[in-house]
Every structure is written in C-alpha cells, then in structure tokens.
Amino acid sequence: MKKFERFEGVVAPLDRANVDTDLIIPKQFLKSIKRTGFGVNLFDELRYLDEGQPGQDCSNRPLNPDFVLNQPRYQNAEILLTRRNFGCGSSREHAPWALEDFGFKVVIAPSFADIFYNNAFKNGLLLVRLEEDEIERLFQETEEREGYALDVDLENQRIITPRGEILEFDVDEFRKHCLLEGLDDIGITLQDDAVIRQFEQQHREQRPWLFR
C-alpha cells in the first residue's frame, strides 16, 4: 500500500444520499479476478447511457453529459464529496478498488456504511466524516467555484478550504497509522502469531466441537 501524503485535490460533488456499492460498481464487473482496472466502470450506470459489459472498451461508449464526473471541470478530481450513508449494501471491495483506480484518494460524507468503511482504509482510500452543515457548505463552495480544491492533511486530521477554513475530522489511530505508513494489516497481525496460537489451543480445549 502506498503511503498517504498530504495533498491538494479537486473536489467532485455527488449530490446523492445512500449511494450503494451496486451503484459504485455494478455486479457484471465483479467477475474479474484482479484488483485493478475497475476505474473505467466506476458509477457505470450513472456515467454511461448504455449498459456496460466487462472487458469492453469504454472509450466509444455514450457518456451521460449530466453526470458530474463527465463534466470537464471535475475531470481530475481526487476528492469525492457526497451525502450520508455512502457505500451501503454489498461487501464488495471492488467499490473502493474502483474509486481508487479512477483516481479518488478521499471521500467526504456525513456518514459511511460499516463494511465499506473498513474496505476503503485497507486500500489506502481515506474516508472523512464531517457534519451535515459542513458538507452542505462544501457542496455550495464546490458548485460556486470551478477548480475548487481542498488540502487534505491526515497527519493533523484536518481539511483546509481555499478560504483558509479548517475542518477537523476524527479517524482512529490504527487506521491513520496504517494509511500514513502504507502498512499491511496481515504483517502486523502475524507479529502476534504466538498469541493467536496460544488462544487457539485454549479455545480448542474449551470448545472442541468448533474444530471439525
């Protein structure tokens, strides 16, 4: 995993609540056995006017001109601004893979679904929860100013707007540490390999019927 560094990125507003993982990446694209290449099909049903197929060349597909990511001003967006309960539904990790592959590094919303929240951090995608009124303000400012960009400073858990306003956010220590250092969970857990073995042995003695 790449280390998450402070950056300034263009914001794309997706003004919609309860964006589910089927919408982020429709099921026909889950048939891949790879982790990459999902970006061209991110929000496929919103982004294109036809039905997408896996492995298809998307460069000639008809684009939906109304969809935010198709508008020239948001072409290089790295921050997605959206509404509450983003990422609800299926556990498919293809959702954060698609967001990242497209080029997003951060998603900002009032709330996220639990499984998506876990999956995102495990892939280096930072999710930032802000208050509803802060989100509302960011939507307005993004709309008003072309090229609207935010400075994302994970180390200090803050986002700085072009006007210099500072929005602080919470993130748990472990997830923050893994993102900043680009660490792999499995390697960290396996440092406790003896503790796991000891627990397992005791668990087996107490409840042998669980081991069959």
Partner 1 sequence: MSAKTLYDKLWDQHLVKQRDDGTALIYIDRHMLHEVTSPQAFEGLRLAKRKPWRLDANLATADHNVPTTLIERAEGNKGIKDPVSLIQVQTLDDNCLEYGITEFGINDPRQGIVHVIGPEQGATLPGMTVVCGDSHTATHGAFGALAHGIGTSEVEHVLATQCLLTQKMKNMQVRVEGELGLGVTAKDVVLAIIGKIGTAGGTGYAIEFAGSAIESLSMEGRMTVCNMAIEAGARVGMIAVDETTIDYIGNRPYAPTAEQWEAAVADWRNLVSDPDAEFDKIVTLDADEIEPQVSWGTSPEMVTGISGQVPDPEAALDETIKRSHVRALEYMGLQPNQKITDIQLDKVFIGSCTNSRIEDLREAAKVAKGKKVASNIQLAMVVPGSGLVKRQAEEEGLDKIFIEAGFEWREPGCSMCLAMNADKLGAGEHCASTSNRNFEGRQGYGGRTHLVSPAMAAAAAIAGHFVDVRSLPANDANHAQEA
Site residues for partner 1, window 87-116 (CB under 8 A)? 88-93, 111, 113-115
Q: Among 8, 51, 131, 155, which residue interacts with partner 1 (rule: CB under 8 A)?
A: 51
Residue of 90, 91, 69, 89 whose CA lies nearest to 79 = 69
Residue 154 corresponds to which tokens in the numbers above?
């994970």
Binding status of residue 2 toward partner 1 by CB under 8 A: no
**Based on CB atoms, which residue is closest to partner 1, 7 or 139?**
139
Pairing, β 149-153 against β 158-160: antiparallel
**Based on CB atoms, which residue is closest to partner 1, 33 or 144?**
33
Q: Among 7, 32, 61, 70, which residue interacts with partner 1 (rule: CB under 8 A)?
A: 32
Pairing, β 149-153 against β 7-14: antiparallel
The answer to whether 148 touches 10, Cβ cutoff 8 Å, is: yes
* Number of residues engaging partner 1 in binding (CB under 8 A): 58
Site residues for partner 1, window 154-193 (CB under 8 A)? 172-174, 177, 185-186, 189-190, 192-193
Q: Among 118, 137, 180, 183, which residue interacts with partner 1 (rule: CB under 8 A)?
A: 118
Spatial strand order of the sheet with 79-82 comes to 126-129, 106-109, 79-82, 7-14, 149-153, 158-160, 166-168
CB of 76 to partner 1, least distance (A): 27
CB of 164 to partner 1, least distance (A): 29
Dist CA 43 CA 99 (whole Å): 9
Residue of 183, 85, 207 whose CA lies nearest to 135 = 85
Q: Among 62, 66, 144, 210, which residue interacts with partner 1 (rule: CB under 8 A)?
A: 210
Site residues for partner 1, window 5-24 (CB under 8 A)? 15-18, 20, 22-23
CA distances 154 to 9, 38, 87, Å, are 13, 26, 21
Dist CA 211 CA 86 (whole Å): 38
Site residues for partner 1, window 120-149 (CB under 8 A)? 122-123
Q: What residues make contact with partner 1 under the rule CB under 8 A?
A: 15-18, 20, 22-23, 26-28, 30-35, 45, 51, 54-55, 83-85, 88-93, 111, 113-115, 118-119, 122-123, 172-174, 177, 185-186, 189-190, 192-193, 195-196, 199-200, 203, 207-212
